[in-house]
Amino acid sequence: MRVRLRDRVVYAIARVAFAIASRVPQWLGYGLARLLGRLYFRLDGRRRGYALRFLRCAFPTASDAELRRIGARSTGNLFCVPLDMARLTRLLARGGSVREVLDYTLAERQLRSMKKPFLGLTAHLGNWEIAAIGVAQWAGGAHGIARVSKNPLLERWILGNRERGGLVIHPRRGGVRDLAKAMASGKVGLQVVDQNQRLRGVFAPFFGKLASCERAAVTLALRKGYPIVVGAALRRGGGFAFDLVAEEPFVLASTGDRAADLAAGVRRVNAAIEALVRRAPEQYLWIHDRYRTQPREGDAGGEGDEGGTSGRVGDRDGADGGVDAADFGDGGDD
């Protein structure tokens, strides 16, 4: 891929910004990030609207003031994620381990019960990148799917940082096949599975309302019988410290009815994600337009529709862009 002058400039700025961010005192850096996130929530009416509608589905009895409080705090957490990545990059570059900032105690029993290969699924909760690196280092390596930067210098740097943490990234286009091959050889597979899917989604309830959900991970688990564990790295306190948490692992039932099994599997994963989010709602990504893609009026619900692309309305682009471009495991919306 040709490297343009613009690519070099953006890459240099990114390296300098990360270097500065990784050295700013935590109280200052994270305090400022949270303040900026809350300000963004207040000023961006569109994103705030997404969040409040999403939150109302999840917490129907909460007051409007409480929903606004959760939305503002969660956006503050989102703004802390780049600081986390700057600090994690510096930690790994000096040969450190994510265990220095990630406590495995709350998920240790679930992880010890897993036999490789298995699928580790997560959501935009706490810090999903820390969760991925944490599981990768615990398992002795893991594979995920991510969007590839259009800047080749940034791409090489970001992927190199992740590989230092034991995480091998495959591009979204064709990445599911590469992930399947890696798992067939005994590796752990990781994916983020909680955002709107514009194409080939499976309609299933998410916090009580139909949402277009990612299908690849559940399809792979059903075909190969891989166990699934759903977990997250929740922020502890206000800085660069986390607790790894996990729901009980499970194996999806295969009855021979592919559409019904797929729908049931997605519902099972969604229920586990919902349980995790309820542990720390102020750390979840509520400003995403989760319910954008809906089945057309008159369709048979769309739930479990293995046709995938039919019956979608409300689409403008892929997964709600702008807030998840660096996700390690976003395998949908090709």
pLDDT in tens, 123-140: 999 999 999 999 999 999
Which of 101, 104, 93, 87 lies closest to 164, judged by CA? 93
Asked if 59 and 53 touch (Cβ cutoff 8 Å), the reply is: no
How far is CA 262 from each of CA 193, 200, 218, 269, 304, rounded to the nearest angstrom?
Answer: 14, 12, 7, 11, 6
Confidence of residue 113 (pLDDT cuts 50, 70, 90): very high
Q: What angle do CA 275, 329, 17 make, to 5 degrees?
A: 105
* Structural domain contains residue 89: no
Domain membership of residue 169 (yes or no) is yes
Q: What is the pLDDT of residue 298?
A: 56
How many distinct structural domains can be found in the chain? Answer: 1
Angstrom distances, CA of residue 230 to CA of 84, 100, 111, 135, 184: 21, 22, 10, 11, 20
The pLDDT of residue 299 is 54
* Tokens standing for residue 183: 């798992």
Min mean pLDDT across 200-204, 239-243, 329-333 is at 329-333
Q: For residue 166, is it within any domain?
A: yes
Note whether residue 103 is domain-resident.
yes
Q: Is residue 109 part of a domain?
A: yes
Q: How many whole angstroms from its chain centre is CA 70?
A: 19
Q: What is the pLDDT of residues 29-82, one digit of tens each?
A: 999 999 999 999 999 999 999 999 999 999 999 999 999 999 999 999 999 999
Packing angle of the helix pair 45-58, 26-43 (nearest 10 deg) = 90
The residues, ordered by sequence, that sit 6+ positions from 187 with a Cβ below 8 Å of its Cβ are: 116, 117, 141, 142, 143
* Pairing label, strands 228-235, 242-246: antiparallel
23 is a domain residue:
no
Residue 20 within a domain: no
Residue 331 within a domain? no
Domain of residue 228, residue span: 99-313
